[in-house]
């Protein structure tokens, strides 16, 4: 998926964990972010937040709100041809999109999106002389920490962003380095890029 601001990455993590308190926190985060980006007319961010909200509402069984958020995202995306905003979420978004497609005005665009789910995007390819090791899978929380490392945030800054203790972030960093078999932040980000865990254009 496209590289995201920390608040959105954290909201995704909370939704994925499916804890009711965490999902409620994610709802509040997304509402604040939506208001912020609407105010400064950042349409791409608004669309991304609406899509994440649709998934959150679906997680809570609030289908009407999920469809309302997704339909708004589709309306914003259609004239701009922004298919990737939806494709980045993967086929899990498909059932909601098919509901949106019942409206004839959205059918062509949604069909493009759904058809794009079947087209795999290329993964980063290692350099010919480099043999990448098999690594232990990172947890979702570790991936969020890794994304923030790629933005060159210190452990203390990451701790503030995620409302964690500095010690907890340090432990996550240690686990990341161990799993990726590297000895530092820059090497971890580079290895993660090559393994497809981070976008190739992440800051580093």
Residue 155 lies inside a defined structural domain of this protein: yes
Alpha helix stretches (DSSP H) within 40-119: 43-59, 63-77, 84-87, 94-100, 104-116
Range of the domain at 111: 6-116
- pLDDT at position 162 is 81
The pLDDT of residue 74 is above 90? yes
The answer to the question of residue 172 being in a domain is yes
pLDDT of residue 124: 42
158 CB-near residues (< 8 Å, 6+ apart): 145, 148, 149, 164, 169
Residue 24 — very low, low, confident or very high, per pLDDT cuts 50/70/90? very high
Q: Tell me if 203 is assigned to some domain.
A: no
Indicate the pTM of the whole model: 0.59
**Would you give the distance in Å from CA 115 to the centre of its chain?**
21
The single-letter DSSP state of residue 197 is S
- pLDDT above 90: percentage of residues in the chain: 31
Q: Are 3 and 147 in contact (CB under 8 A)?
A: yes
Average pLDDT of every residue of the chain: 81
CATH assignment of the domain containing 185: 1.10.10.10
pLDDT greater than 50 at residue 66: yes
Total domains in the fold of the chain: 2
74 assigned to some structural domain: yes
Do 112 and 154 sit in the same domain of this protein? no
* Whole-number pLDDT of residue 53: 95
Predicted confidence (pLDDT) per residue in 114-163, tens digit: 888 764 444 444 443 444 445 567 777 888 888 888 888 899 988 887 88
**Is 70 exceeded by the pLDDT of residue 13?**
yes
Is residue 155 located within the same domain as residue 54? no
Which helix (H) or strand (E) element contains residue 92? none
């Amino acid at each position: 998926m496209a590289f995201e601001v920390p608040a959105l990455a954290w909201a995704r993590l909370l939704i994925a964990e499916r804890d009711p308190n965490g999902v409620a926190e994610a709802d509040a985060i997304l509402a604040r972010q939506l208001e912020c980006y609407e105010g400064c007319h950042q349409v791409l961010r608004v669309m991304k937040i609406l899509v994440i909200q649709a998934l959150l509402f679906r997680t809570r069984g609030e289908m009407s709100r999920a469809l309302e958020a997704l339909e708004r995202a589709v309306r914003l995306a259609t004239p701009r041809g922004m298919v990737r905003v939806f494709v980045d979420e993967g086929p899990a978004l498909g059932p909601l999109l098919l509901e949106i497609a019942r409206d004839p005005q959205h059918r062509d665009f949604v069909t493009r999106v759904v058809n794009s789910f079947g087209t795999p995007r290329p993964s980063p390819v290692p350099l010919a002389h480099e043999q990448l090791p098999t690594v232990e899978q990172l947890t979702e929380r570790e991936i969020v920490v890794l994304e923030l490392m790629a933005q060159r945030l210190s452990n203390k800054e990451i701790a503030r962003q995620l409302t964690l203790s500095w010690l907890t972030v340090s432990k996550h960093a240690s686990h990341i380095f161990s799993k990726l078999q590297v000895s530092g932040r820059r090497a971890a980000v580079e290895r993660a890029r090559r393994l497809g865990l981070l976008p190739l254009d992440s800051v580093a």
